[in-house]
Amino acid sequence: MWVKQISVFLENKSGRLAAVTRLLADHGFNIRALSIADTSDFGILRLIVNDPAHANRVLKEAGFTVSETEVLAVEVPDRPGGLARVLDLLHQAGINIEYLYAFVSKAGENALVLMKVEDLQRAVDVLSAQGITIQGHDVVHQI
């Protein structure tokens, strides 16, 4: 039900992001979505790629610090208020969102938003009950 995200520890110095993306390109991975959380010293690059287990291995072998995290891929209607409704539902259910970022491409008519929440299963239940589609990795990694 949820999607595997890869996180990479990056020092804040020039060329590190280029190095990761070059490595993934050389191995034929397609980056589906990404975001960076940064502090003054370091950043965490979060990636959705087509074959996360393989990408994880490749990055580790190249000496990067990598971890895998499970996140939700939530379909959000691509119109004003689409995201607000989803977030309201989670808020009412008392589920905190640690971070979220959006997919570059759409799933049909809907935008796709990636969310890291405290309690994945409960978030899925809350949102599904309201007719919101959660995409699994079989779909997401192939978009």
Q: Which residues bind to other proteins, rule: CB under 8 A?
A: 5, 7, 9-11, 16, 37-39, 41-42, 44, 46, 60, 63-67, 69, 98, 116
Q: What is the dihedral of CA 85, 87, 91, 92, to 10 degrees?
A: 20
DSSP-based three-state secondary structure for 19: helix
Pick 41 or 109: Cβ nearer other proteins? 41
The CB-of-50 to other proteins minimum distance in angstroms stands at 20
Q: Longest C-alpha distance within the chain, in Å?
A: 45
Task: Name beta bridge partners: 102.
Answer: 113
Pick 23 or 107: Cβ nearer other proteins? 23
The CB-of-26 to other proteins minimum distance in angstroms stands at 19
